[in-house]
Structure 1
Amino acid sequence: MEGMKQHHAAKWLALLGLVVMACGGLFYAVSIRHGDWGLIGAGAGLAIVLLAALVAHEAVGAFFAKRSARLGLGSGVAILAVLALVMFLGALSARHHVRWDFSQGQMNTLSPQTVKVLKGLKEPVKAYAFFKDDQAGRMQADEELGKYSYVSRLFTYRFVNPDAEPGLAKAMKVRNYGTVVLVGGGREEQVQLPEEQELTNALIRLGKKGKKRIYFLTGHGEPALDGVAKDDFTSLRKALEAANYEVKSLMLVTSDQVPPDAAVVIMASPKMALMSQEIERLSAYWDQGGAIMLLLDPESDGGLKTWLKAKGVVLGDDLVIDQASRLAGLSPLAPLASEYGFHDITKMMSGTFCFFPQARSVTLETNLPKGIKGEELVKTSPASWATDYKGFLAWYQAQLDKMKQSQGQQGAIELKPGKDDRKGPLSLGAALSKQGQTGKDQAARKVTSRLVVFGDADFANNEFLELAGNHDLALNSVSWLAADDNLVAIRAKSRKNQPLLLQPGQERLLFWIPLVVWPLLLALVGVVIIIRRRRTR
Structure 2
Amino acid sequence: MRARLGDILFKVAIGIAAVCLGFLSTRHGFEYDLSAGARASLGPATTALLETLDAPVEVVSYARRQGGLRPVIGEFVARYQRLKPDLTLRFVDPDADPGAMRAEGIRLDGEIEIRYRERSERLKVLSENEFSNALLRLSRSGERIVAFLEGAGERQPLGQANADLGQFVLALQEQGMRPVGLPLASSGQVPRNTDLLVIANPRVALPPAAVTELIDYVERGGNLLWLAEPDERGGLDALAEALSLRVLPGTVVDGGGAAFGLDDPTFVAVSQYPPHAITQGFVLTTLFPQAVALAQVSPPRWDIAPLLRSSLQSWNETGHIPQAGEAAGNVRHDAEAGEITGPLDLGFALRRNSPDPERSEQRVVVIGDGDFLSNTFLGNAGNREFGVRLFNWLVHDDSLVEVPDRSAPDRELTLSQTTLNLLGFAFLVGLPALLAACGGVIAWRRRRR
Question: Structure 2 unaligned runs (5+)?
Answer: 1-20, 90-112, 403-449
User: Is contact 1:338–1:378 with CA below 8 Å preserved after alignment?
Assistant: no
Following superposition, the deviation at residue 206 of structure 1 comes to 5.2
Do structure 1's residue 373 and structure 2's residue 306 form an aligned pair? no
Following superposition, the deviation at residue 219 of structure 1 comes to 0.5
In structure 1, how many angstroms separate the alpha carbons of the residues matched to 2:374 and 2:169? Answer: 10
Following superposition, the deviation at residue 223 of structure 1 comes to 2.4
Amino acid at match of 2:245: V
Partner of 1:123: 52
Give a deviation string over 1:476-509, Cα, whole Å, max 9, x none: 11111000014799xxxxxxxxxxxxxxxxxxxx
Partner of 2:97: none
In structure 2, how many angstroms separate the alpha carbons of the residues matched to 1:462 and 1:341? Answer: 27
Partner of 1:312: 244
User: Is contact 2:137–2:397 with CA below 8 Å preserved after alignment?
Assistant: no
Partner of 2:287: 355
Do structure 1's residue 92 and structure 2's residue 22 form an aligned pair? no
In structure 2, how many angstroms separate the alpha carbons of the residues matched to 1:122 and 1:220? Answer: 48
Amino acid at match of 2:244: G
In structure 2, how many angstroms separate the alpha carbons of the residues matched to 1:190 and 1:451? Answer: 26
User: Is contact 1:377–1:431 with CA below 8 Å preserved after alignment?
Assistant: yes
Following superposition, the deviation at residue 91 of structure 1 comes to 4.1
User: Is contact 1:125–1:154 with CA below 8 Å preserved after alignment?
Assistant: no
SS at structure 2 position matched to 1:392 = coil
Amino acid at match of 1:329: G
Amino acid at match of 1:426: L
Residues paired across the two proteins, number: 345
In structure 2, how many angstroms separate the alpha carbons of the residues matched to 1:472 and 1:192? Answer: 10
Partner of 2:92: none
Following superposition, the deviation at residue 313 of structure 1 comes to 0.8
Q: Select the structure of larger CA radius of gyration.
A: 1
Amino acid at match of 1:387: E
Following superposition, the deviation at residue 228 of structure 1 comes to 2.9
Give a deviation string over 1:131-167, Cα, whole Å, max 9, x none: 9xxxx9xxx999757634625975332779xxxxxxx
Match of 1:417 among 330, 333, 345: 333
SS at structure 1 position matched to 2:86 = strand
Q: Structure 1 vs Structure 2: percent identity of aligned residues?
A: 26
In structure 2, how many angstroms separate the alpha carbons of the residues matched to 1:345 and 1:192? Answer: 17
Question: Structure 1 unaligned runs (5+)?
Answer: 1-21, 31-89, 101-108, 161-179, 401-409, 439-443, 490-537
Following superposition, the deviation at residue 416 of structure 1 comes to 2.4
Aligned in 2, Cα 1:338/1:159: closer, same or farther, shift over 3 Å? closer
Following superposition, the deviation at residue 461 of structure 1 comes to 0.7
Do structure 1's residue 476 and structure 2's residue 389 form an aligned pair? yes
User: Is contact 2:146–2:180 with CA below 8 Å preserved after alignment?
Assistant: yes
Please show how residues 15-34 of structure 1 align to structure 2 within 5 Å: 30=29
User: Is contact 2:45–2:401 with CA below 8 Å preserved after alignment?
Assistant: no
Partner of 1:276: 208
Do structure 1's residue 485 and structure 2's residue 386 form an aligned pair? no
Aligned in 2, Cα 1:282/1:150: closer, same or farther, shift over 3 Å? same
- State the TM-score, normalizing by the size of structure 2: 0.64
Match of 2:198 among 266, 273, 286: 266
Do structure 1's residue 292 and structure 2's residue 224 form an aligned pair? yes
Aligned in 2, Cα 1:157/1:141: closer, same or farther, shift over 3 Å? farther
Aligned in 2, Cα 1:29/1:143: closer, same or farther, shift over 3 Å? farther
User: Is contact 1:322–1:334 with CA below 8 Å preserved after alignment?
Assistant: yes
Amino acid at match of 2:390: S
In structure 2, how many angstroms separate the alpha carbons of the residues matched to 1:94 and 1:125? Answer: 30
Partner of 1:346: 279
Please show how residues 36-185 of structure 1 align to structure 2 within 5 Å: 90-92=30-32, 120-121=49-50, 123-125=52-54, 127=56, 147-148=76-77, 150=79, 155-157=84-86
User: Is contact 1:182–1:202 with CA below 8 Å preserved after alignment?
Assistant: no
In structure 2, how many angstroms separate the alpha carbons of the residues matched to 1:367 and 1:122? Answer: 48
Aligned in 2, Cα 1:477/1:422: closer, same or farther, shift over 3 Å? same
Do structure 1's residue 212 and structure 2's residue 152 form an aligned pair? no
SS at structure 2 position matched to 1:451 = strand
User: Is contact 1:476–1:487 with CA below 8 Å preserved after alignment?
Assistant: no
Aligned in 2, Cα 1:357/1:117: closer, same or farther, shift over 3 Å? farther
Following superposition, the deviation at residue 116 of structure 1 comes to 8.1
Q: Which is bigger in relative contact order (C-alpha 8 A, separation at least 6)?
A: 2
Do structure 1's residue 392 and structure 2's residue 320 form an aligned pair? yes
Aligned-residue CA RMSD in angstroms? Answer: 4.5
User: Is contact 2:81–2:88 with CA below 8 Å preserved after alignment?
Assistant: no
Bigger mean CA deviation after superposition, 449-458 or 351-360:
351-360
User: Is contact 1:363–1:429 with CA below 8 Å preserved after alignment?
Assistant: no
Amino acid at match of 1:92: Y
Do structure 1's residue 328 and structure 2's residue 328 form an aligned pair? no
Match of 1:452 among 324, 340, 365: 365
User: Is contact 1:322–1:381 with CA below 8 Å preserved after alignment?
Assistant: yes
Partner of 2:166: 234
More helix by share: 1
Aligned in 2, Cα 1:91/1:445: closer, same or farther, shift over 3 Å? closer
Following superposition, the deviation at residue 362 of structure 1 comes to 1.1
Give a deviation string over 1:219-273, Cα, whole Å, max 9, x none: 0111223333221111211121122211121111122321222111111121012
Amino acid at match of 1:156: P
SS at structure 2 position matched to 1:485 = coil
In structure 2, how many angstroms separate the alpha carbons of the residues matched to 1:343 and 1:435? Answer: 18
